[in-house]
C-alpha cells in the first residue's frame, strides 16, 4: 500500500469552474471568481474583507507591508514555524524576535511573549500550528496594552475555532495558504482577511503593483505582483462548497488515529484544548525516547512500508540561514518537539483503511 502525505480532493465543481474561465478567456488576475472567492472565504472566517494572493507566503509579506512594518521595527514570532514567517519579516527590513513553544499544542508560549516586547516592537505574529489555534486572548490583551498589531499566520487552520469563533476574524489581519496540501486548495495561493476597510483597500492596491486609481502606470508606493489568478480562484470557489465536509473529515481521521495509537507506549498524540476546535491540518505525533526508535528511524521504517511522513518544522533559531542572528538563544521546548515530532498522512482523501495500515506499522516498528 502506498499512502501519500496529503492529496487534494478535487471531485466537486473544480473542473466545471476552470472550464468556465477558459471558455470566457478570463484566466489571469481579472475575472468574477476572484471576488466570489474572497467574499465566500472571508465570510466563512467571520471577517468583512478578503484579499486573494498568489501564495500564503506573499499574503504574509503583503500584510506586513500594508501595516507599515519596516526597518527598525521588531515582530515577535514563534521559533517553531515555517521559515516563511521569519523570511517575510526579514524582507520588510524588520527584525524577527523569537519565542519558544508551549508543551501541549506546540504553539507560541503566550506566557513568554511579554518579556520580548521592547520599544521597537510593532507586531506579534502567532501561528496556529498544524491546525490547533493559539490561545489568542492573552495576545490580544498584550497588543492592546502595548499598542501592537496582531498579524496571524492561519495558513494551516482553515475552519479552526477559538472559543467558538472561527480563526480569521480574530487578529488585526490573518493570512491563509491554499497550497495543495491545505484543507482547501487553489494549487498555490493565499488570502488575507481583515475587518479593517482601510487595510483592505491598501492591500489590494499593493498586491497589484501599487497602481494609482486616477491613472494607470502611476505609482506612489512600492507595490508587488501578488495577484491570484481567476483559474486559481475558480478552484477555490468549488473547494468552498465542501470546506465544512473537509474539516469534518480531518477531525474524524484524527479521532481514528488517536483511538488506534492511544495505548502505544512512546507515542504522544495531539491535543485539543477545551476552548479550541482543532482541524488537524497535519496529524502530528511525538516519538518519545521510550518508544525504542527515534523519530527519524520511525520515518524511515514507515517509508519502507510505503507510508509518506514529514518531520515537524525545524526551529528558526537552528536554521543555518538565521543561526548567527540567534546563536546565543535557546528554546528547549521547540528543540525537543523538532527532534521528536513526525507528521503522519493527513490529506482530504485519506481513508480509514489507510489510517489503520499506518497505525499497524507504527506498532510493528517497536523493537525493529
Position 367 scores a pLDDT of: 62
3-state secondary structure 176-222: EECECCCCCCCECCEEEEECCHHHHHHHHHHCECCEECCEEEEECCC
3-state secondary structure 216-278: EEEECCCCCECCCCHHHHHHHHHHHCCHHHHHHHHHHHHHHHHHHHCCCCCEECCCCCCCEEC
Model confidence band, residue 366 (pLDDT cutoffs 50, 70, 90): confident
Run of H or E including 97: strand 95-99
DSSP tag of 108:
B
CB neighbours of residue 269 within 10 Å? 16
Model confidence band, residue 360 (pLDDT cutoffs 50, 70, 90): very high
User: How does the average pLDDT of the chain come out, rounded?
Assistant: 97
For residue 368, pLDDT beyond 60: no
For residue 143, pLDDT beyond 90: yes
Structural domains in the chain plus CATH codes: 14-240 (3.40.640.10), 243-364 (3.90.1150.10)
Position 216 scores a pLDDT of: 86
pTM (2 d.p.)? 0.97
Model confidence band, residue 99 (pLDDT cutoffs 50, 70, 90): very high
Which burial class, exposed, middle or buried, applies to 65 when counting CB atoms under 10 A from its CB (0-12, 13-18, 19+)?
buried
Position 110 scores a pLDDT of: 98
Mean pLDDT of all residues in 59-65: 98
Sign of the CA dihedral running 154, 160, 163, 169: positive
- Give tens-digit pLDDT for 257-273: 999 999 999 999 999 99
> Which of 355, 343, 351, 349 lies closest to 298, judged by CA?
343
* 76 phi, psi to nearest 5 deg: -85, 125
Which positions ≥6 away from 91 have C-beta within 8 Å?
Answer: 61, 64
Characterize the bridge pairing of strands 276-277 and 74-78.
unpaired
Q: Helix H segments across 262-351?
A: 295-304, 332-340
Position 310 scores a pLDDT of: 97
Mean pLDDT of all residues in 350-364: 97
Give me 270's grid cell: 495531539
Asked whether 279 and 159 are in contact (CB, 8 A), the reply is yes
Model confidence band, residue 65 (pLDDT cutoffs 50, 70, 90): very high
Which burial class, exposed, middle or buried, applies to 329 when counting CB atoms under 10 A from its CB (0-12, 13-18, 19+)?
middle
Amino acid at each position: 500500500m502506498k499512502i501519500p502525505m496529503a492529496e487534494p480532493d478535487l471531485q466537486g465543481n473544480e473542473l466545471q469552474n476552470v472550464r468556465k474561465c477558459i471558455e470566457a478567456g478570463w484566466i489571469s488576475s481579472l475575472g468574477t471568481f476572484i471576488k466570489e472567492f474572497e467574499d465566500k472565504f472571508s465570510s466563512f472566517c467571520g471577517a468583512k474583507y478578503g484579499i486573494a494572493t498568489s501564495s500564503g507566503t506573499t499574503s504574509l509579506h503583503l500584510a506586513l507591508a500594508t501595516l507599515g512594518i519596516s526597518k527598525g521595527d521588531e515582530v515577535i514570532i514563534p521559533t517553531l514555524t515555517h521559515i516563511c514567517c521569519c523570511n517575510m519579516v526579514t524582507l520588510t527590513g524588520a527584525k524577527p524576535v523569537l519565542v519558544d513553544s508551549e508543551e501541549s499544542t506546540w504553539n507560541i508560549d503566550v506566557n513568554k511573549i511579554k518579556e520580548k516586547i521592547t520599544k521597537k516592537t510593532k507586531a506579534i505574529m502567532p501561528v496556529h500550528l498544524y491546525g490547533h489555534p493559539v490561545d489568542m486572548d492573552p495576545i490580544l490583551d498584550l497588543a492592546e496594552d502595548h499598542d501592537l498589531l496582531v498579524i496571524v499566520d492561519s495558513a494551516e487552520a482553515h475552519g479552526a475555532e477559538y472559543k467558538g469563533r472561527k480563526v480569521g476574524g480574530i487578529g488585526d489581519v490573518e493570512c491563509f495558504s491554499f497550497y495543495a496540501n491545505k484543507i482547501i486548495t487553489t494549487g498555490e495561493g493565499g488570502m488575507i482577511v481583515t475587518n479593517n476597510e482601510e487595510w483592505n483597500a491598501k492591500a489590494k492596491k499593493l498586491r497589484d503593483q501599487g497602481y494609482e486609481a486616477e491613472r494607470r502606470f502611476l505609482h506612489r508606493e512600492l507595490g508587488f505582483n501578488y495577484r491570484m489568478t481567476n483559474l486559481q480562484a475558480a478552484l477555490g470557489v468549488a473547494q468552498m462548497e465542501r470546506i465544512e465536509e473537509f474539516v469534518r473529515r480531518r477531525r474524524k481521521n484524527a479521532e481514528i488515529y488517536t483511538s488506534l495509537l492511544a495505548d502505544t507506549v512512546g507515542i504522544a498524540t495531539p491535543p485539543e484544548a477545551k476552548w479550541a476546535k482543532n482541524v488537524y491540518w497535519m496529524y502530528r505525533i511525538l516519538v518519545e525516547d521510550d518508544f525504542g526508535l527515534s523519530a527519524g528511524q520511525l520515518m524511515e521504517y514507515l517509508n519502507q512500508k510505503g507510508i509518506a511522513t514529514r518531520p515537524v518544522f525545524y526551529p528558526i533559531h537552528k536554521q543555518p540561514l538565521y543561526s548567527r542572528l540567534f546563536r546565543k538563544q535557546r528554546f528547549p521546548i521547540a528543540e525537543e518537539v523538532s527532534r521528536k515530532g513526525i507528521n503522519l498522512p493527513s490529506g482530504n482523501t485519506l481513508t480509514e483503511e489507510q489510517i489503520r495500515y499506518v497505525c499497524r506499522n507504527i506498532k510493528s516498528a517497536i523493537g525493529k
